[in-house]
Each structure stands twice: as structure tokens, then as C-alpha cells.
Amino acid sequence: MKMMKTNIKPLLDYLDEILPTAKCELLYTKDYELVIAVMLSAQTTDKSVNAVTPILFKKYPTLDALYDAPLEDIEEIIKPIGLYKNEAKNLKGIVKDLVDRFNGVVPSDKEQLMTLPGVGNKTAGVIRAEIFQIPDLPVDTHILRISKRLNLAKKDDEPIDVERKLKKIIPEERWIKSHHQLIHFGRYYCIARSPKCENCKISDMCIYKRK
């Protein structure tokens, strides 16, 4: 299907109306905790991550403590989120790199962030936007779905393709805000199954609704 030229303002205005204070829902108090939480959330929901990370960070309250933590214990704590063995290895790898390579400080450079285990383009973008307020608009499964439903992206577009397209039509000063709003819109309104289309004010943009 050919993409239509879209006036993005109605979408942004609608997001401002229904989600004016959308923000990151992952629980963290320290920069490295966010890095770990975002990495873990790539394979599961924020809710699932928030159920295990407070336990982990309470038992191991510093980077050094996590550095020395037995891998098996980390696996046991994060086991409920699934794929826990690989995630535990990534977690230990992140902690090791932050301590050994970055003096315990989370880097703001995207290329450096993406050298951390389990940290790809999307995760690095979230970290930069949340910790350093560096404009970025990383695309998760919610934003990917919404963008295709609203004809802002093609059916076979990958997340990086959608990110580039959204950055062209959304003002840079709104990237961080729109990132959170679009995630919340997909999480609570335009959900994967049985989206709440009845009262949606942008249904005229929506391919899903027209179907």
C-alpha cells in the first residue's frame, strides 16, 4: 500500500490531549539501573521488569556489588522475565564493561552504548533520551505497530526504517515526548488485539480501522 502524505499535527495534538505526561515507566534510581532495565525490557514488558529489578538492586545496591554477584543468583532473581540465562549474561557483561571500560559511568555516546552486551540501537536511544535528554525517537513494538496502522510506515518496514521516517515528520524538540506518548498510546489505547477504536479522534488516519 502506498503511504499517504500525512499531516502529523492531528496525531501530536491528540497525544498531547490524552497522554500529556507520558514518561518512562521503568523503575530506576541510578543511571546504570536504567541501562539494565531497558536491556531487560527488550524481551518482555516493563511491568515484568519492574517486578524483578527492585529485588535485584536491593540485594546488590552498587555496581561493584553487581560486579561480584554470582551469575546463578542473578539468573534466579530475573528468572520470571524469561530468557533469563542470556539476559543474566548480558547484565553481567554490562556491569563489567561499565566498571572496567567506563569507570562506572554510563556513556552518552551512542556508539559506545551499543558496545555494551544486549544494547542495540533502540536501547541506546532510550538511554540517551532518558538519562541525558539527547533527542532521539527509538522505535519499540508499540511504535512499530502504531506507525504501520496510521500509514506512517510501510507494512514491511523495520524499526530503524520507522525511526528514520518519524524523525522526518516529528519536530526534533518533540522526539523524546512523542516517543513516550506513542509507547503509551500503543500500550493502553491502540493495543495489538482489540484496540480501543470507538472514541479515537485519529481514526481517519488508521488503516486498521478502515479494514
For this structure, is 122 an active site residue?
yes
CA distance 28 to 50: 9
Q: Which of 92, 140, 157, 165 is catalytic?
A: 140
CA distance 141 to 146: 9
Q: Which of 5, 89, 97, 122 is catalytic?
A: 122
For this structure, is 79 an active site residue?
no
CA distance 201 to 198: 9
Give, in order, the Cα–Cα distances in Å from 189 to each of 98, 130, 156, 199. Answer: 37, 23, 23, 10
Measured on CA atoms in the order 43, 44, 45, 49, is the torsion positive or negative? negative
User: Would you name the residues annotated as active-site residues?
Assistant: 122, 140
